[in-house]
Chain A
Amino acid sequence: MTILMDSTVDPGAPDSRSRNSAHRSTRRAGDGPRRGHLARVDAAYGYAFIAPAVLGFLVFVALPIAGVFLFSFQDYNSLSGRSTYVGMENYERLLTSDVFGTVLRNTAVFSAFVIPANLVIGLLMAVLVNQRIRAISIFRTAYFVPVVISLVAWSLVWDVMLQDSGGINGWLAMIGIEGPNWLADPDWAMTSIIFVQVLKGVGVSMVLFLAALQEVPGELLEAAKIDGAGPWQSFRSVVVPLITPTIMMVAILATINSLKAFAQVFLLTEGGPGLSTNILGYFIYEQAFKAFQVGFASTAAVFLFLIVLVLTLLQWWSRKRWVFNES
């Protein structure tokens, strides 16, 4: 069957074939011309197998990214359907806009809390559930529950609880504390959004850290103990260095997840009160699909893209400084 396929897929001349393939896959250079021919047919299968994914990527990921850059140079109102090339005008407008400055600052604050919270709380929870005690798996499951339920459901139930007369303030009142109007008070709305976001996702960080902790060889900890290291010391000097690859991965994931936050803002505060919870993901949606300023929104999307790119590359490049055992 393979032989049959060969002739249809590969019309190339036999002599050039072997030379080419030997050149191409040096690892198989010793296998001779016959092997090279098969390798080439095999490669054709490879391309066929990846074709749906690669074509899909081009149409639904690469093309939209190119599109967002293109739109960012246009004044494009989706209601009137008119678009004109305006050069850098959207960029100028965006960079001189106070609103966008506030949105960027909000996004920075949001990420600046969500990312460390995922690292610190995620690791603490992983240590907590990495114990040999009875029924521990029940707690692992419990902490993971918000991860599997939808962000919409999670946001809506917190919407109920965080209302001025909602459950949280009701319980606080029982112990004599008058809670703020969590979602409508400009001083507290961002805190509430961050809180909801961290609770929703920290279970993933926990599971990743847990897996890493369980890979730490027991002998190393024994050795540290024999050398007189206390629990904290051996955690800091043995465990943490060994799990740095996971720390980096959680940091990257938390960064991306915090930058694509949208639904909780849409459902809980709609960016308000005022602009106090308007972060980039929401701002793009608002400008594009509520204000119909598609060109302007695309420019904001370009910024989001560049921020993600720069942060990811920074984290990636910084790894050599602190990530253990990269290979």
Chain B
Amino acid sequence: MSPELTTAAVVAPPGTKAPHRRVPRSGGAGGPGRLGTVGMYALLVLVAVPFVFPVFWMFSTGLKTYGDVFESPPVLWPDDPRWGNYLVPFTTGPFLQQFLNSIYIASVTTIGVLAVASLAGYAFARIEFRGRSVLFVMLLSALLIPPEVTIIPLFRIVSAFGWIDTHLALIVPAIFGVPAVLGVFLMRQFFLALPIELEQAGRVDGLGRFGLFARVALPLAKAPLAALAILTFLNSWNDFLEPLVFLRTQELWTVPIALQSFTDPITGIPIWNIQMAATTLSVLPVLAVFFVAQRQFVQGIAGTGIK
């Protein structure tokens, strides 16, 4: 059922065909008068509030005293910002270690996925072999399956490998599992659009299949590889269910698991201001990269539609 699903998908997302020019060719409001323009911007700003304001609130709550968090009326910006709150996660717990864990896991996963996905994506797009479309559909079906369906047996598999409470439990299933499939899909889209003449020239130069892949096709795939790298890194960085289930030791946790653990050890109530400071710290690098590399973000996420 899914090869067509992909063609349906290709219609919409800015996959490989000239998606960069963001010139609206249709539906643009021609020239509504000045009042209309002001109203339009007011509407645009209003709509932005629920999407952007929480990020500001995260940041400012992180600067408050514990008592100020639930002050009424709400304090937009504390009179006496406690910048020190942003250091507390590092001084009271292994937050730095957890941060490094997340970076390490996401990096290794990304490199692995790029390798697995570009090889397979290339083969599905460029090499003829029996069962090609059946195998491709089979792989794609993985994208439809909620992780909750597979997490219980996956726990058994991971423990059979002896990986419970190790980072391998997060890295290996990601490199070869669903994130890789996502990558296969993205890379195949790109390689399908690559002109065949380039490879014919490579053949004439005496390149074998691996040479064609590594020396001709891959160097041209920097853009989709960048999009895929960002997507994979982001997904790994944001993963919650798997680390929640597979990791026990606090020093081995990833950032999302650490964030939800800034709670009072007795009451279990979050230490809101510190938690928000830590949350802001976890979001900042992602937002920074997003603002710099928006195109790759949007391409990666929209190209697969998976968050």
To the question of whether A and B form a pair in one complex, the answer is: yes
Interface of A toward B, CB cutoff 8 Å: 1-2, 5, 24-25, 28, 39, 41-47, 49-50, 52-57, 59-61, 63-68, 70-71, 125, 127-133, 136-137, 139, 141-154, 156-161, 163, 165-167, 169-171, 173-174, 199-201, 203-204, 207-209, 211-218, 220-221, 235, 239, 243, 245-246, 248-250, 252-253, 256-257, 259-260, 262-263, 266-267, 280-281, 284-285, 288-289, 294, 297-298, 301-302, 304-305, 308-309, 312-313, 316, 319, 323, 326-327
- B84 contacts the other chain (CB 8 A): no
CA distance A257 to B41 in the complex (A): 31
B73, B155, B181, B302: the one contacting A171 at CB < 8 Å is: B73
Q: List 9 tightest A-B contacts by C-beta distance, closest first.
A: A56-B176, A67-B153, A260-B146, A49-B123, A46-B127, A64-B150, A150-B238, A60-B177, A43-B129
CB distance from A134 to the nearest CB of B (A): 9
Partner of B156, one of A41, A67, A150: A67
The answer for the CA separation of A209 and B291 in the assembled complex, in Å, is 21
- The answer to whether A131 and B40 have CB atoms under 8 Å apart is yes
Asked if B168 lies at the interface with its beta carbon under 8 angstroms from chain A, I say no
Q: Known pairs A53-B176, A288-B151; list 19 more (Cβ under 8 Å).
A: A2-B208, A45-B123, A49-B123, A49-B213, A53-B117, A55-B176, A130-B26, A136-B44, A145-B51, A150-B237, A152-B260, A156-B279, A221-B27, A239-B27, A284-B149, A294-B152, A297-B152, A298-B153, A302-B149
**What per-residue 1/0 map shows which CB atoms of B198-223 lie under 8 Å from chain A?**
00000000111111010000000000
Contact yes or no, A199 B27, CB < 8 A: no
Question: Whole-angstrom distance between the alpha carbons of A215 and B22 in the complex?
Answer: 11
A146 and B282 alpha carbons, distance in the complex (Å): 13
B175 at the interface (CB under 8 A from A): yes
| Measured CA separation A302–B153 after assembly (Å) | 12
**Residues in A whose Cβ lies below 8 Å from that of B25:** 214-218
Separation of A46 and B48 alpha carbons in the complex (Å): 47
Tell me, yes or no, whether B272 is within 8 Å of chain A by CB.
yes
B120 pairs with A49, CB closer than 8 A:
yes
B241 neighbours in A (Cβ, 8 Å) = 262-263, 285
User: Per-position contact with A for B227-244: 1 when CB-CB < 8 Å, else 0?
Assistant: 000000010011011001
Chain B, residue nearest A173 (CB): B72
Cβ B144 vs Cβ A312 within 8 A: yes
Tell me the residues in window 33-69 of chain B with beta carbons closer than 8 Å to chain A beta carbons: 37, 40-41, 43-44, 47-48, 50-52, 54-55, 57-58, 61, 69
What residues of B have a CB within 8 angstroms of the CB of A216 in the complex?
Answer: 25-27
Give me 28 A-to-B residue pairs in the complex whose CB atoms sit less than 8 angstroms apart, sorted by A's number.
Answer: A47-B129, A56-B173, A64-B154, A65-B145, A125-B47, A128-B43, A133-B37, A137-B22, A139-B48, A142-B52, A147-B307, A149-B286, A150-B237, A150-B286, A151-B307, A160-B276, A161-B57, A165-B72, A199-B50, A201-B307, A214-B24, A245-B12, A262-B148, A262-B241, A266-B244, A288-B152, A301-B149, A319-B8
Secondary structure class of chain B's binding surface, majority of residues: helix
Name the contact of B153 in the complex, choosing from A41, A64, A142 (C-beta under 8 A).
A64
Per a CB cutoff under 8 Å, which of A1, A297, A298 touches B208? A1
**Nearest CB of chain A from residue B27's CB, rounded to whole Å:** 5
Cβ-based interface call for B11 (8 A)? yes
CA gap between A218 and B58 in the complex, in Å: 42
- Tell me whether A305 and B145 are in contact (CB under 8 A): yes
- Docked-complex contact A50 and B307, CB < 8 angstroms: no
Say whether A45 contacts B1, CB under 8 Å: no
B residues sitting closer than 8 Å to A (CB atoms) are 1, 4-5, 7-9, 11-14, 19, 22-29, 37, 40-41, 43-44, 47-48, 50-52, 54-55, 57-58, 61, 69-74, 115-117, 119-120, 122-124, 127-130, 132, 135, 138-139, 142-157, 172-173, 175-178, 180-181, 184, 206-211, 213, 234, 237-238, 240-241, 244-245, 255-256, 259-260, 270, 272, 275-276, 279, 282-283, 286-287, 290-291, 294, 297-298, 301-302, 305-307
Does the CB pair A326–B4 fall under 8 Å? yes
What's the Cα separation between A312 and B141 when bound, in Å?
A: 11
> Known interface pairs A46-B127, A49-B119, A153-B279. Does A61 touch B28 (Cβ–Cβ under 8 Å)?
no
Is the CB–CB distance between B13 and A208 below 8 Å? yes
Complex Cα distance A10/B19, Å? 42
CB-contact partner of A145 in B70, B276, B287, under 8 A: B287
Our pick among A1, A131, A297, A316 for the contact of B24 (Cβ within 8 Å) is A131
On chain A, the residues within 8 Å of B50 by CB distance are: 199
Most buried by B among A25, A141, A243, A297: A141
Closest to B279 in A: A153
Name the residue on B nearest A283 (C-beta).
B148
Cα distance, A1 to B129, chains bound together (Å):
21
Most buried by A among B44, B184, B270: B44
Contact in complex: B57, A157 (CB < 8 Å): yes
Give Cα distance in the complex from A199 to B49, angstroms: 11
Which of A66, A158, A280 is in CB contact (< 8 Å) with B148?
A: A280
Give bound CA distance, A39 to B128, whole Å: 7
- The smallest beta-carbon distance between A182 and chain B, in angstroms, is 14
By the criterion CB–CB under 8 Å, are A304 and B146 in contact?
yes
Q: Is the CB of B181 within 8 A of A57?
A: yes
Cβ-defined contact, A246 with B12, below 8 A: yes
Q: Are B51 and A53 in contact (CB under 8 A)?
A: no
C-alpha spacing A88/B116, complex, angstroms: 40
Determine the distance from Cα of A67 to Cα of B156 in the docked complex, in whole angstroms. Answer: 9
A140 to chain B, nearest CB (A): 8
Taking a contact as CB atoms under 8 Å apart, the answer to whether B73 and A174 are in contact is: yes
Partner of A156, one of B23, B155, B172, B260: B260
**A163 partner residues in chain B, CB cutoff 8 A:** 70
- The interface residues of chain A lying within 8 Å CB-to-CB of B238 are 149-152
B235 to chain A, nearest CB (A): 10
